[in-house]
């Protein structure tokens, strides 16, 4: 059994993490850390969060055995932790309810957040509506265009969506703009970061809120009389659902695999594989791995899945990688799309493209592992938001301007093939 | 930090002490092109007392729209750490005034702290400002910088508690960078009314010169800030003037030099309250 006590008092996970922020943010980060540590020890806070997670967000989420998928893959047992069944459609609500409660506890009236595809934005706007907080969401203009429906969803929930036109106009820039807002508004405003990234205490706090995924999965395995799985698989953008799954298994000899966005290739700008191809650097307040050029400038990224389209990664994952506590791999856009189609057809579950990355790697693993072994996959979100892009890519039907189609791809062939054998 | 010799930055503040506040002019390195930048920088330093050359970064979270824009333009022209070091070396040939580099931490970290400090020193740089490196994370850089004779000014802001100001002022060298307001760099109609109380709090425990920056937008505001502090840092106003000049097809260097002259005049027309800094 390993000894694991991270982070240290300054928010370091080994050499990673910390607080690399302007002085204006230091006092509020220290205040937030104090408030969070107090809340964590306060039974009433824990009970309130548990109540909301149960009665409002729909926890516990099922641990579902995907038997038809297992059978098609040669008999390795595949379990899905169904975070896609959470209210708002992804695991993001676990964190936003926690942080929104903390916002109230700190006496702040406004909450801001960044969002890529819109999952975290919707989850934040939802928690804000529930608890009566004013809510502003920063979203890259490119992402607003790609996810117009989610923009309206947030507005419907009473949030204001602020377009970000700087830089690459995606998630990274939405975080920059949220940090700029927070520097100016910190007295009354809490910044609800959506992943295990950012300065201390965010990576620790988001990990703790998301750990409900792994804790529940353990309890459910036990209830079903099942042994620990051989392998845990989850996707990694910033890394919140994977950390939430892995962390409660940290002391167990269970293989942990984080799956990054392999995009269209291994060249700069073609992927979002920070841990696979990146180098150590400092972005958004923490030292971690980073996709950067030789001058220390942050590089463009690509993924078919907006939630994995990010050049950084949570510092605790960097620490896991360094200590060999987890392994990090990637799968391509195409493999993720294939996996999404496979799960839809075999199990009647349309996964988010983020989660489809984890699934694609689990499918590869299942083919290598022997009958009788088992894999637990975090199905972090539902695929409704991605149906449009799946239609374009899987059937070659182009309905959104500016996107490449794969009309003659192996995907189309695979779809007709799997249609035949079902 | 005690040293046997006085740095150029310390000498500069000491020379102006009792007369007026120092004008510290910020310029994004490599904007609007390396050659044009050198001309703007030379004209700026002819009017200002110190020059702060900003190394452009892809993700400048402490900066408002103006410096985001100049950084973007500079990066587009391929400017980075090397080019800024080259600019500093070039400027050093023509001036004995203090030169500072401003960089977000990642380009410095990526370059290597030791290599960066050595190269900065060799280029005639006197100090390095790293806005996202708070005292909690600066030990390694602090040691490296001081080994190479570089000052590291640190920030205090209106929400910095008194005890933190004390800790920060012990780790800082050159001067304390007093942020006028809660916010990012950029132009603002007035100086924040809380500035005087921050300066008073800093005076009560810091023995370093105090320079005021972020949001000083006009000669009038510069003069006001100069009444309280030992130095005034102006950045976005110069960069805005340069961007406007470019847009009109005029010379950014001439425009910026004229504004720098007006900023300095605003400091000369008043008698500053000098604090008890010891250098």
| B positions 51-110 inside 8 Å of A (CB) | 57-62, 64, 68, 72, 75, 80-82, 105-110
B52 assigned to active site: yes
Tell me: the pLDDT tens digits for A251-297? 999 999 999 999 999 999 999 999 999 999 999 999 999 999 999 99
Residue A164 pLDDT: 95
Q: What is the pLDDT confidence band of residue B74, given thresholds at 50, 70 and 90?
A: very high
Choose from B182, B195, B202, B215 for mutation: most chain A CBs within 10 A.
Answer: B182
pLDDT tens-digit series, residues A224-235: 999 999 999 999
Is residue A398 predicted with pLDDT exceeding 80? no
Q: What is the ipTM of this complex?
A: 0.93
- In whole numbers, what is the pLDDT of chain A averaged over residues? 93
**For B21-268, which CATH superfamily applies?**
Aldolase class I (3.20.20.70)
Chain B environment of A186 (Cβ under 8 Å): 159, 182
Q: How many angstroms away from the CA of B115 is the closest CA of chain A? A: 13
The span from the CA of B21 to the CA of B212, in Å, is 10
Show Cβ contacts of residue A38 under 8 Å, excluding neighbours closer than 6 positions: none
Predicted local distance difference test score (pLDDT) of residue B4? 61
Which among B106, B108, B184 is the nearest to A283, CB-wise?
Answer: B106
Q: Which residues pair with A234 in a beta bridge?
A: A258
pLDDT given at position A396: 77
Average pLDDT over residues A121-143: 96
Instruction: Look at A186 and B182 and tell me if their CB atoms are within 8 Å.
Output: yes
In this structure, what is the dihedral angle of CA atoms A136, A237, A350, A384, given to the nearest 10 degrees?
A: 20
- Is there a contact between B229 and B243 (Cβ–Cβ < 8 Å)? no
The pLDDT of residue A397 = 62
Name the A residues in 7-26 with CB < 8 Å from any B CB: 10, 18-24, 26
What pLDDT band is residue A407 in, cutting at 50, 70 and 90? very low
How far from the centroid of its chain's Cα atoms is residue B160's Cα? 20
Residue A349 has pLDDT above 80, yes or no: yes
Q: What is the pLDDT of residue B181?
A: 87
Which residues make Cβ contacts (< 8 Å) with residue A256, sequence separation at least 6? A231, A232, A246, A249, A320, A325, A326, A327
Instruction: Choose, from B49, B63, B151, B257, the residue flagged as catalytic.
Output: B63
The rounded distance, in Å, linking the Cα atoms of B82 and B51 is 18
Q: Which residue has the higher pLDDT, A149 or B202?
A: B202
pLDDT per position as a tens digit, A285-337: 999 999 999 999 999 999 999 889 999 999 999 999 999 999 999 999 999 99
Q: What is the pLDDT of residue B158?
A: 94
Minimum CA–CA partner of B182 in chain A: A184
pLDDT digits (tens, 9 = 90+) for B122-170: 999 999 999 999 999 999 999 999 999 999 999 999 999 999 999 999 9
Q: How many angstroms separate the CA atoms of A259 and A240, rounded?
A: 12
Smallest Cβ distance to A172: which of B59, B132, B136?
A: B59
Q: Where are the domains of chain B?
A: 21-268
Q: What is the mean pLDDT of chain B?
A: 93
Is 80 exceeded by the pLDDT of residue B215? yes
pLDDT band, residue B275 (cuts 50/70/90):
low
């Amino acid at each position: 059994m390993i000894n694991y006590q991270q982070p240290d008092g300054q928010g370091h996970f080994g050499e990673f993490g910390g607080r690399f922020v302007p002085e204006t943010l230091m006092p509020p980060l220290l205040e937030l850390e104090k408030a969070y540590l107090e809340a964590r020890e306060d039974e009433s806070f824990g009970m309130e969060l548990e109540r909301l997670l149960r009665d409002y967000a729909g926890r516990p989420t099922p641990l579902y055995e995907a038997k038809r998928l297992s059978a098609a893959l040669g008999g390795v047992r595949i379990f899905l932790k169904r975070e896609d069944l959470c209210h708002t459609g992804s695991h993001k609500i676990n964190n936003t309810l926690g942080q929104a409660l903390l916002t109230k506890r700190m006496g702040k009236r406004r909450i801001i957040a960044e969002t890529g595809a819109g999952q975290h934005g919707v989850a934040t706007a939802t928690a804000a509506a529930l608890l009566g907080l004013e809510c502003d969401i920063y979203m890259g203009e490119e992402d607003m265009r790609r996810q117009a429906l989610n923009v309206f969803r947030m507005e419907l929930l009473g949030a204001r969506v602020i377009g970000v036109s700087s830089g690459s106009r995606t998630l990274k820039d939405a975080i920059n703009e949220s940090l700029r807002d927070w520097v100016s508004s910190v007295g009354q405003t809490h910044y609800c970061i959506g992943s295990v990234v950012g300065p201390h205490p965010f990576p620790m706090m988001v990990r703790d809120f998301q750990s409900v995924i792994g804790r529940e999965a353990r309890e459910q395995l036990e209830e079903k009389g099942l042994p620990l799985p051989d392998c845990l698989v989850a996707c990694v953008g910033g890394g919140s659902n994977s950390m939430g799954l892995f962390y409660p298994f940290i002391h167990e000899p269970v293989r942990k695999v984080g799956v990054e966005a392999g995009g269209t290739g291994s060249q700069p700008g073609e992927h979002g594989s920070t841990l696979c191809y990146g180098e150590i650097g400092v972005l958004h307040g923490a030292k971690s791995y980073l996709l950067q050029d030789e001058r220390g400038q942050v590089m463009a990224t690509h993924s078919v899945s907006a939630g994995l389209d990010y050049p950084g990664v949570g510092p605790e994952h960097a620490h896991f990688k360094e200590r060999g506590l987890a392994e990090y791999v990637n799968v391509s856009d195409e493999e993720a799309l294939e996996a999404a189609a496979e799960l839809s057809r075999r199990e009647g579950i349309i996964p988010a493209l983020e989660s489809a990355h984890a699934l694609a790697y689990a499918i590869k693993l299942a083919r290598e592992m022997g009958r009788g072994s088992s894999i637990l996959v975090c199905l972090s979100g539902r695929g409704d938001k991605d149906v449009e892009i799946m239609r374009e890519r899987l059937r070659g039907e182009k309905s959104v301007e500016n996107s490449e189609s794969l009309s003659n791809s192996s995907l189309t062939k695979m779809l007709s093939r799997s249609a035949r054998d079902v | 930090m005690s040293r046997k010799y006085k740095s150029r930055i310390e000498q500069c503040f000491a020379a102006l002490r009792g007369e007026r506040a120092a004008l510290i002019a910020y310029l994004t390195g490599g904007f609007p092109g390396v050659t044009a930048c050198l001309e703007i920088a030379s004209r700026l330093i002819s009017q200002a007392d110190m020059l702060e050359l900003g190394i452009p970064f892809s993700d400048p979270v402490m900066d408002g729209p103006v410096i985001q824009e100049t950084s973007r333009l500079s990066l587009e022209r391929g400017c980075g750490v090397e080019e800024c070091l080259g600019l500093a070396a070039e400027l050093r040939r023509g001036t004995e005034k203090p030169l500072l580099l401003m960089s977000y931490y990642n380009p410095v970290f990526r370059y290597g702290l030791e290599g960066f400090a050595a190269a900065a020193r060799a280029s005639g740089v006197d100090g390095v400002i790293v806005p996202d490196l708070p005292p909690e994370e600066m030990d390694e850089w602090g040691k490296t910088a001081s080994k190479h004779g570089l000052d590291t000014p640190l920030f205090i802001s209106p929400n910095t508690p008194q005890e933190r100001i004390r800790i920060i002022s012990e780790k800082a060298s050159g001067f304390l960078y007093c942020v006028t307001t809660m916010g990012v760099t950029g132009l603002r109609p007035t100086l924040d009314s809380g500035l005087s109380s921050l300066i008073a709090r800093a005076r009560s425990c810091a023995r370093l010169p105090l320079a005021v920056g972020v949001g000083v937008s006009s000669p009038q505001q510069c003069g006001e800030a100069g009444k309280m502090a030992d130095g005034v840092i102006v950045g976005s106003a110069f960069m805005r003037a340069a961007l406007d000049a470019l847009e009109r097809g005029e010379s950014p260097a001439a425009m910026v030099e004229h504004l720098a002259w007006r900023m300095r005049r605003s400091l000369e027309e008043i008698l500053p309250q000098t604090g008890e800094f010891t250098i």
